[in-house]
Amino acid sequence: YRHSSQYRFWSFSKERLREKRVNTNKIAADTIYKNILDFKNQQDLTQEQLDVLDARTQPLSVDDELKLINFYAKKVQVISQHLNLPTEIIATSISFFKKFFLENSVMQYDPKSLVHTTIFLACKAENYFISVDSFAKKAKPNREAILKYEFKLLESLKFSLLIHHPYKPLHGFFLDIQNVLHGKVDLNYMGQTYDKCKKKITEAILTDVVYLFTPPQITLAILMIEDEALITKYLELKFSVNSEKKNNDTISFSTLLTIINDCKSFIQEEKSVSTDDARKIAAQNFFCQNPMDL
Amino acid sequence: NTIPRFKLDEKLYSDPFIKDLENRKEFVASGFRTDYVYERVLTEAFM
Amino acid sequence: EYTKEKKVGEGTYAVVYLGTKQSTGRQIAVKEIKTSEFKDGLDMSAIREVKYLQEIQHDNVIELVDIFMAYDNLNLVLEFLPSDLEVIIKDRSILFTPADIKSWMLMTLRGVHHCHRNFILHRDLKPNNLLLSPDGVIKVADFGLARAVPSPHEMLTSNVVTRWYRAPELLFGAKHYTSAIDIWSVGVIFAELMLRIPYLPGQNDIDQMEVTFRALGTPTDKEWPEVSSFGSYNKLQIYPPPSIDELRKRFIAASENALNFMCGMLTMNPKKRWNAIECLESEYFKEMPPPSDPSEIK
C-alpha cells in the first residue's frame, strides 16, 4: 500500500488537507479579486453598483467551496448510479471528482463541467469502456464537453488512476471474521451486514476519510458502526492471538482501535449539503466570475 | 519474499457467492480459482 | 528537463524518442502519446500504461520516470532500454548459453511475479516486450493491454496476448481467466529461447489452436475439467500429448528440470499451471549452471 500512488500522492493529515484547500482557494480568490478590481477600473459604475459588486462578488470561502464540491460529488454518485455503473466505478468517479477539486478551485472550473468527465475517465480507467458518443447519449452534455477537461483531469489526478477502495477489504474481513470467530457468527447475519456496509462505504467515500485513512481502516470503521460488539470481539481475538508472538511488526490493538474510532466519528459527523445552500454558493460563484451579469 | 503475511485457509470460509461461481462450467473451464479470489480480498483487507 | 533527440519508434498510439534528463544527464525514452487522432479522448492503451506503471516499482519492470503534458500531448518518460529479447533471439551472430537463458527467465519471472502479487495481469508478454537495460537486466514493458485482476463475476475479453503467446483458455474464448495466461506466455518464450525460432507460430487464431495442440496435445476433460464445454472444442483435431522423449528430442539442450519447468508453465489446464512463485522456486533455478550475471552476458 505504501508503494501505491494512493498512499504516495493522496494521503494527508487533517492539517495538510486543510492547508491544501486553503492554498487552492487562495490562488483562485486572488485571481477573482484582481479581475473584479480590473472590472471596476474599466467600468464607470455608480456607488450603488459598486456596493452591490462588493456585496455579491466576494470569492468563495474555503468552507463554501467545500460545500459546493460535496454537493456536486453527490451528483456524480447519483448520475453514475443512474448509468447503472458497477459500485467500484461509481466510487472511482467520486474519487476523481473530489481530487480534481482538491487541486483546482470551483472558481476556476465550474464543477458542473467536470461531473461527466470524471465518470467518463473512471469508466476508461476501470476498463469499463463506454464510447464518448454513447456516453453523451446516456448522459446530458455533448462529446466536446465531456472531453474538454479530460487531460486537465488526468493531470490534476497526478496521473494516478488505480484506486484501492474499501469494498475488497470488506469482502476480506467478511472471510477473516469467519476465520477468527469460527463457528460463533451466523452467516446470514454476516451476509446482511456485508450488504449494509457496502452501501455505507459509498457514502463514506463522499467524505474526507479517503484522504485520512487507509481503505481497510475505513472498512473497519464502517463495520464498527454496523456492529460494534462483533468487530470489537473480532479485533480483540485477532490481536490477542498475535500478541503472544511479540514480533516487532505486530500492529498494536489499541492504536488501531483509536484510528478506527477516529475514522468512525469522521464518517458519522459528515453533513450533506442542501440544494438551497448549494444554489446560493453557486450564484456567488457565478457572479464573482461574471460581474457584468451582476 | 514469498512468505505471505497471513494464513489463507479456504476450508474456513463460507462464501456462497464465490462457491456458486466455482461450480459454473465457464468458470471451471477458464481456470477460475477461489484461492486467488480469497488471497486478493484478504490482501486488500490486511494492507 | 527532458529533451527528445532521436525518434526511435512509432506505434498506433505513440511515438518514441530517445532523450536526456537534463538535470542528471540520464538517458531516457519519451513515449509521446498521440491524442488528436482518438475520437474517445485519451486512448485506452495510454490510460493503462499510466495506471499500472504508476503503481509498479521493480527492478524487472520498466521504470516510469515521469509524466508530463506538453502541447496537448501526454508524455511518458521511461527508462532507456536499448534492446529486447526478440532482437537477441533473431540475431544469429549473438551466441548465448543455458546460463544466460536461465538468467533471463529468472528476471522475467521476478517482474511477472511482482505484477501478479499486485494483482495486475500484463496480457501481452512476448520477447519484444521483454526489454534489456544497458547492463543486461530484463524489464517487462508495454502495459498497454494490462488490467487489474477483475472482481470474480466480471467478464474479461479473451482477445488479448499476441497470438503466438496466447494461452489455450484464451484460444477457447474464456472470459474468467486468471494470471495463468501470463505464465503460459513465459513458457512459450522459454521454448523460443531454447529453439531460437518461434515455438507455436500460428498463422491465424484457428491455426494457433491447431499448432498449439499438435505440439502439446489436445486437452481433454480428464486433465482439464469442462474444457469440452467451450464452443470451439468440438471442431478440434485430437492430438496426443508429446512423450517426454519427444520433448527431449525437440529441446536437446534442455535438462530434465528445464523440461519440467517448461511443462509446468505450458500445462494446458490453467488451474494446474504453475504460478509465478512455483516457477521461481522450481528446481530449474537451483541446479547448475547458475543464472549468468546479467552484466556479463555478451
Q: Is B31 left (phi over 0), alpha (psi -120 to 50) or beta?
A: left
pLDDT band at C35 (very low <50, low <70, confident <90, very high): confident
The per-residue pLDDT for A209 is 97
At C190-213, the pLDDT tens digits run 999 999 999 999 999 999 999 999
pLDDT band at C165 (very low <50, low <70, confident <90, very high): very high
Strand partners, C18: C6, C29
Cell matching residue A128: 469499463
- Is B46 an interface residue toward C (CB < 8 Å)? no
Give chain A positions within 8 Å (CB) of C52.
162
Q: Is this prediction's pTM over 0.90?
A: yes
Asked if B17's CB is within 8 angstroms of C177's CB, the reply is no
Helix (H) or strand (E) holding A68: helix A62-82
- Is C41 an interface residue toward A (CB < 8 Å)? yes
Residue A73, pLDDT > 70, answer yes
The per-residue pLDDT for A154 is 96
Please check whether residue A285 is in contact with residue A60, taking contact to mean a CB–CB distance below 8 angstroms.
yes
Give chain A positions within 8 Å (CB) of B46.
172, 216
Give the residue-averaged pLDDT of A267-285.
92
At A175-214, the pLDDT tens digits run 999 999 988 889 899 999 999 999 999 999 999 999 999 9
Give the residue-averaged pLDDT of A26-38.
95
Q: How much of chain C, in percent, has pLDDT values that exceed 90? A: 89
Asked if B36's CB is within 8 angstroms of C230's CB, the reply is no
Q: How much of chain C, in percent, has pLDDT values that exceed 70? A: 99
Distance from C-alpha of B12 to C-alpha of C66, rounded to nearest angstrom:
45
Residue C13, pLDDT > 90, answer no
- Mean per-residue pLDDT over chain C, rounded: 95
Helix axes A215-226, A167-180, angle to 10 degrees: 60
Buried b (16+ CB within 10 A) or exposed e, A194-210: beebbebbbebbbbbbb
Give chain A positions within 8 Å (CB) of C42.
121, 124, 150-151, 154
Say which residue the cell 446530458 belongs to.
A140
The per-residue pLDDT for C38 is 72
Catalytic residue (one of C84, C124, C142, C182): C124
Pick the more confident residue, C74 or A271.
Answer: C74
At B1-47, the pLDDT tens digits run 667 788 888 888 989 899 999 999 999 999 999 999 999 999 999 98
Asked if C271's CB is within 8 angstroms of B26's CB, the reply is no
Residue A78, pLDDT > 90, answer yes
Distance from C-alpha of C76 to C-alpha of A159, rounded to nearest angstrom:
10
3-state per-residue secondary structure call for C22-69: CCCCEEEEEEEECCCCCCCCCCHHHHHHHHHHCCCCCCCECCEEEEEE
Tell me how crowded residue A131 is: count the other CB atoms within 10 A of its CB.
13
Tell me how crowded residue C293 is: count the other CB atoms within 10 A of its CB.
12
- Is B26 an interface residue toward A (CB < 8 Å)? no
Residue among B9, B16, B45 minimizing CB distance to A172: B45
Nearest residue on chain C to B47, alpha-carbon basis: C118
Distance from C-alpha of C21 to C-alpha of C31, rounded to nearest angstrom:
14
Task: Name the H helices within chain C.
Answer: 44-53, 85-90, 98-117, 168-171, 180-195, 205-216, 244-250, 256-265, 276-280
The per-residue pLDDT for A85 is 94
Please check whether residue A65 is in contact with residue A139, taking contact to mean a CB–CB distance below 8 angstroms.
no
Strand partners, C79: C28
ipTM for this prediction: 0.93
pLDDT band at A248 (very low <50, low <70, confident <90, very high): low
Residue C123, pLDDT > 80, answer yes
Asked if C51's CB is within 8 angstroms of A161's CB, the reply is yes
Residue among A5, A120, A131 minimizing CB distance to C54: A5
The per-residue pLDDT for B12 is 87
Q: How much of chain A, in percent, has pLDDT values that exceed 90? A: 81
Asked if A151's CB is within 8 angstroms of C72's CB, the reply is yes
- Mean per-residue pLDDT over chain A, rounded: 92
Determine the distance in angstroms separating the CA of C65 from the nearest CA of chain A, rounded to an integer: 13
- Is C149 an interface residue toward A (CB < 8 Å)? no
Residue among C119, C152, C176 minimizing CB distance to B18: C152
Write down which chains contact chain A via at least 3 CB pairs under 8 A.
Answer: B, C
The verdict on whether C124 is a catalytic residue reads yes
For B:1-30, CB contacts with C below 8 A are 2, 17-18, 21, 25-30
Residue C274, pLDDT > 70, answer yes
Look at A92-101, A127-136, A183-192, C14-23 and tell me which has the smallest mean pLDDT.
Answer: A127-136
Residue among A125, A133, A151 minimizing CB distance to C51: A125
Cα angle A256-A262-A266, degrees, rounded to a multiple of 5: 145
Residue among B16, B41, B47 minimizing CB distance to A1: B47
Q: Quick one: B5 exposed, middle or buried, by C-beta within 10 A (0-12, 13-18, 19+)?
A: exposed
Give the residue-averaged pLDDT of C160-168.
97
Nearest residue on chain C to B35, alpha-carbon basis: C271
